[in-house]
Structure 1
Amino acid sequence: MELMPLIILLIINLYGIFLMGFDKSKAKKGQYRISERTLWIVAICGGAVGTTIGMNVFRHKTKHKAFQIGMPFLVGLQLVVLFLLFN
């Protein structure tokens, strides 16, 4: 198994956690926010686990139905794809 794809996924997921925390910080200060579209793009590009962790750690976007349902769905989908690719 090659290590580079896993390193890339790790970086994308860390970025997802960072974005959720950064957006939450901006929201508290009433400043310009990161768009939900950007958060979804990061999640779809392999960062669903990190984005979901960020949602829960920072309690951000947890009341939005699209995030409540969509992020866990994406996590499951991405885990299945990873399993199929690496086994």
Structure 2
Amino acid sequence: MKLFMAYIIIVNIVGFVLMGVDKKRAIRGAWRIPEATLFGVALLGGALGCTLGMRYFRHKTKHWYFKYGMPFIFVAECVLFFWLYELLQ
């Protein structure tokens, strides 16, 4: 369980940082992080970090699929994690 929690914390930090890096690159006009990568990190458990990064950096908040997709993935992950926790107890 501790290993799983460490994984979740790390992947959420990665999601948060990726949003910040992509925002900085967008401002500079540099090569961007693909949206599929951002959603991939969210689907691997980092939806909370990505959502918080969106809000903190004010990035991707006008795209409906990010605005509603990331929080939806987060809620789905919470339900899934709670279900798995109950199943394994």
TM range (shorter): over 0.9
For 2:71 and 2:16, how far apart are their aligned partners in 1? 15
Once superposed, which parts of structure 1, at least 4 consecutive aligned residues long, lie more than 2 Å away?
A: none
Unaligned runs of 5+ in 1: none
Cα deviations across residues 30-76 of structure 1 (Å, max 9, x unaligned)?
Answer: 10100101001000111001000000000000000100111111010
Partner of 1:32: 31
Partner of 1:84: 83
Unaligned runs of 5+ in 2: none
How many residue pairs are counted as aligned between the two chains?
A: 86
For 1:10 and 1:77, how far apart are their aligned partners in 2? 17
Query: What's the TM-score once normalised by structure 1's chain length?
Result: 0.96
Superposed displacement of residue 85, structure 1: 1.6
Query: What's the TM-score once normalised by structure 2's chain length?
Result: 0.94
